[in-house]
Amino acid sequence: MGTETLYIGVDLGTFRSVMVSNDGHDEQVLTVIGTPKDSIAKNFLRRDVLFGEEALKNRLALNLYRPLEHGVIKDTVEDKKYIAHFINHMMNLADPEDYDRVVAVIGAPAEASHVDKTAIFDAAAGTVNACMIISEPFAVAYALDMLDHTMVVDIGAGTTDICRVYGTIPRPEDQLHINKAGDFIDARLIEEIQRKYVGAQITKDMSRRWKEQFSFTSASPPKDPVIVDFSIEGKAMSLDITDCLSNACEGIVDGIVANIKKLISDSNPEYHDAFRQNIILAGGGSGIRGLGATIEERLSDLGEITVHVVEDPVKLGAHGGLRLAQEVPEEYWKNLTISDQ
Q: Contact, 65 vs 32, CB < 8 A? A: yes
Pick the CATH number of 182-250 from 3.90.1150.10, 3.30.420.40, 3.40.50.720, 3.50.50.60: 3.30.420.40
Measured CA to CA, the distance from residue 59 to residue 62 in angstroms comes to: 5
Q: State the alpha helices, DSSP H only, in 197-290.
A: 204-214, 242-249, 253-265, 272-277
Matching fold, domains 5-31+66-140+315-334 and 143-180+253-313? yes
Write phi, then psi, for 221 (nearest 5 degrees). Answer: -70, 150
- The answer, yes or no, to whether residue 189 has pLDDT greater than 70, is yes
Q: Which band of pLDDT confidence, cut at 50, 70 and 90, is reported for residue 172?
A: confident
Q: Which of 60-74, 94-108, 159-173, 188-202 has the lowest mean pLDDT?
A: 60-74
pLDDT for res 71: 66
What are the residue ranges spanned by the domains of the chain?
Answer: 5-31+66-140+315-334, 143-180+253-313, 182-250
CA-CA-CA-CA dihedral for 187, 219, 262, 189, to nearest 10: 0
Task: Specify the pTM.
Answer: 0.87
Q: What is the mean pLDDT of residues 149-167?
A: 92
Statement: residue 68 has pLDDT above 90: no
Question: How far does CA 107 lie from the centroid of its chain?
Answer: 9
- pLDDT value of residue 340: 35
Question: What pLDDT, on a 0 to 100 scale, did the predictor assign at position 2?
Answer: 47
pLDDT band at 45 (very low <50, low <70, confident <90, very high): confident
Q: Does the pLDDT at position 142 exceed 90? A: yes
Architecture label for domain 143-180+253-313 = 2-Layer Sandwich (3.30)
- Averaged confidence pLDDT in the chain: 89
CATH code of domain 5-31+66-140+315-334: 3.30.420.40
Q: Which residues contact 264 (CB under 8 A, 6 or more apart)?
A: 151, 272, 275, 276, 302
The predicted-structure confidence for 271-293, as pLDDT tens digits, reads as follows 999 999 999 999 999 999 999 99
- Under the banding of pLDDT at 50, 70 and 90, the label for residue 300 is very high
The percentage of the chain sitting over the pLDDT mark of 90, rounded to a whole number, equals 60
